[in-house]
Amino acid sequence: MTDATTALLDELRTHVGAHHVLTHDDPGTDLGAWEQDWRKRSHGRALAVVRPGSTAEVAAVVAACARSQAATGVSIVPQGGNTSMVVGAVPDATGKQIVLSLQRLNQVLALDAGNSTLTAQAGCVLQTLQHTARDAGFLFPLSLAAEGSCTIGGNLGTNAGGTQVVRYGNTRELCLGLEVVTPQGQIWNGLSGLRKDNTGYDLRNLLIGAEGTLGVITAATMKLVPLPAAQLTAWTAVPSMEHAVALLGLAHKTLGAGLTGFEVMGQFALSLVARHMPASKVPLYETTPWCVLLEVSDHESEEHARAQFERLLEAGMEQGNITDGVVAESLSQAKALWQIRENLPIAQAMEGLNIKHDISIPISRIPEFVRVTDAALAQALPGIRMVDFGHLGDGNLHYNVQAPAGEDAAAFLRAHETTVNTLVFDSVTRFGGSISAEHGIGSLKVDKLPGYKSPVALDMMRAIKRALDPTNLMNPGRVVRVQV
């Protein structure tokens, strides 16, 4: 370690306390949890994990890194819950990156019932926001399977989607204000609870979805909505993707704004939950290619919700879009059905390493996309297994590829990942879609993006990055590559 690096680490210790600067040299310290991503696609090596306890400490850490960058070559990787699907929050292998963990900034700062807003520090776990809102009679409608460990800062960093986007939008739509530490270590307090503010460029929305490349989000003011009087869940068997899309149209018509969830799940994906989590009783999947999970939220009453849902399911059956279905009778049944859906990524991970595609396509074109792309993949790589599920209500499919049964998954990925990605992303492009709907770009897709995004858009993105972070201190090699 150079003198400059030693001096930087010493300075960081003075800012956050010695026990909040963790390094490989500390006896008995294992940094693996911060260095390894959730999907086990990358295991980097951090110079240090730094855990500030306040916005002022974050600012001091960033400023110190910025001052020493020329001498040390250091850069910063912000990390919340480390649930990124695209290797966005872990260090690379250089040993020069500092993981800036936001996990100690975990307080809800305010709930303004009159303004229907909640302000929380960035390291606050999503579930804490949900519970705080609920205790005050509100719903915080961001919901995803990682909600017990992901943080609101990470949700904002990735502009996360989840299972209620069809009604409430992505994280960006739920955010009214941010507090941010800039790459120079300055603090921008933009924590307004304003629903209208046209005073120039929209910095808040620029920082959201920037994946930590433009600054560190330290706190956010989020929108709350009234708690519905009732929420009901149904699980249906549908005979094809065409029918699933037709059912979505019917659900929009019948339920209007009451439709708060519309998730599609393929047969093989569900069979993985049944196999790896035998305690979950997966309904209906054995005899149908697709199941759809629907949720209705109603502001009148449970009876009203049930009547509406029954009307929808009857019409769906009459039109042949549904072949079978169950409506949860109780909250615990509804939870069990959602648990099956939320367990899909975990069951897929238990099956082994895999190639994930988090794509969006205009909803009307999804059936044809799936038919054409499935056929092309099967022809190119006979025996591969498709683990398909996702947020059909948002046109967002997790169109995932698992190695053929019995084949070594790591070897399959090494040999075929590029072929599979190219085939799928080319097809996505032909169907007018996006190669990342909600997970972001991270480092996993950073070298794919230039092949699929407009060069003009990429130039604008690079110009923004260079303007806000001219020395490439913040999460370099994620989203877009820039030369400094």
Instruction: Give the footprint of ligand MLT on this chain (CB under 6 A).
Output: 85, 145, 344-345, 358, 390, 398
Tokens representing residue 448 in the block:
């794919």
Q: Does the footprint of ligand FAD cover residue 102 (CB under 6 A)?
A: yes
Q: How remote is the C-alpha of 116 from its chain's centroid?
A: 24
Tokens representing residue 99 in the block:
């993981």
With 0-12 CB in 10 A as exposed, 13-18 as middle and 19+ as buried, what is 364? Answer: exposed
Residues 233-252 that bind ligand FAD (CB under 6 A): none
Is the Cβ–Cβ distance between 470 and 484 less than 8 Å? yes
Site string for ligand FAD, 412-441 (x = CB under 6 A): --------------------------xx--
Which of these segments, 73-81, 244-252, 298-306, 446-454, binds ligand FAD (CB under 6 A)? Answer: 73-81
Residues 370-389 that bind ligand FAD (CB under 6 A): none
- Residue 395's binding partner out of ligand MLT, ligand FAD, none, with CB under 5 to 8 Å set by partner kind: none
For the sheet containing 21-22, what is the strand order?
21-22, 46-50, 97-101, 75-79
Instruction: Report the 10 Å Cβ neighbour count for 158.
Output: 29
Q: Does the footprint of ligand FAD cover residue 469 (CB under 6 A)?
A: no
| Shortest CB 398 distance to ligand FAD, Å | 9
Q: Does the footprint of ligand FAD cover residue 99 (CB under 6 A)?
A: no
For residues 344 and 423, which CB has a smaller minimum distance to ligand MLT in the complex? 344
For residues 157 and 345, which CB has a smaller minimum distance to ligand MLT in the complex? 345
- Residue 151's binding partner out of ligand FAD, ligand MLT, none, with CB under 5 to 8 Å set by partner kind: ligand FAD
Applying CB under 6 A, which of residues 72, 158, 182, 472 lies at the interface with ligand FAD?
Answer: 158
First to last CA, the chain: 24
Beta strands in 26-162 (DSSP E): 46-50, 75-79, 97-101, 108-112, 117-121, 138-139
For residues 398 and 478, which CB has a smaller minimum distance to ligand MLT in the complex? 398
Which of 281, 280, 310 is closest to 298 using CA atoms? Answer: 310
**DSSP element (H, E) containing 456:** helix 455-468
Q: Does the footprint of ligand FAD cover residue 211 (CB under 6 A)?
A: yes
- Residue 35's binding partner out of ligand MLT, ligand FAD, none, with CB under 5 to 8 Å set by partner kind: none
| Shortest CB 84 distance to ligand FAD, Å | 3
Is the Cβ–Cβ distance between 289 and 324 less than 8 Å? no
Is the Cβ–Cβ distance between 214 and 468 less than 8 Å? yes
- Residue 398's binding partner out of ligand MLT, ligand FAD, none, with CB under 5 to 8 Å set by partner kind: ligand MLT
Is the Cβ–Cβ distance between 213 and 479 less than 8 Å? yes
Is the Cβ–Cβ distance between 188 and 450 less than 8 Å? no
Residue type, position 252, single letter: H
Q: Does the footprint of ligand FAD cover residue 144 (CB under 6 A)?
A: yes
Which of these segments, 84-92, 372-380, 413-421, 424-432, binds ligand FAD (CB under 6 A)? Answer: 84-92
Applying CB under 6 A, which of residues 141, 154, 183, 395 lies at the interface with ligand FAD?
Answer: 154
Tokens representing residue 154 in the block:
């990470």
Q: Does the footprint of ligand FAD cover residue 181 (CB under 6 A)?
A: no
| Shortest CB 424 distance to ligand MLT, Å | 14
Applying CB under 6 A, which of residues 44, 78, 177, 316 lies at the interface with ligand FAD?
Answer: 78
Strand partners, 223: 117
For residues 230 and 346, which CB has a smaller minimum distance to ligand MLT in the complex? 346
- Residue 150's binding partner out of ligand MLT, ligand FAD, none, with CB under 5 to 8 Å set by partner kind: ligand FAD
- What one-character-per-residue DSSP string does 360-408 give? E--GGGHHHHHHHHHHHHHHHSTT-EEEEEEEGGGTEEEEEEEPPTTS-
- Residue 153's binding partner out of ligand FAD, ligand MLT, none, with CB under 5 to 8 Å set by partner kind: ligand FAD
Q: Tell how strand 396-402 and strand 354-355 pair up.
A: antiparallel
Distance CA 433, CA 427 (A): 9
* Residue showing the smallest CB distance to ligand MLT in the complex: 345
Binding site for ligand FAD (CB under 6 A): 38, 77-85, 88-89, 102, 122, 144-146, 150-151, 153-155, 157-158, 160-162, 211-212, 216-217, 345, 438-439, 442, 475, 478
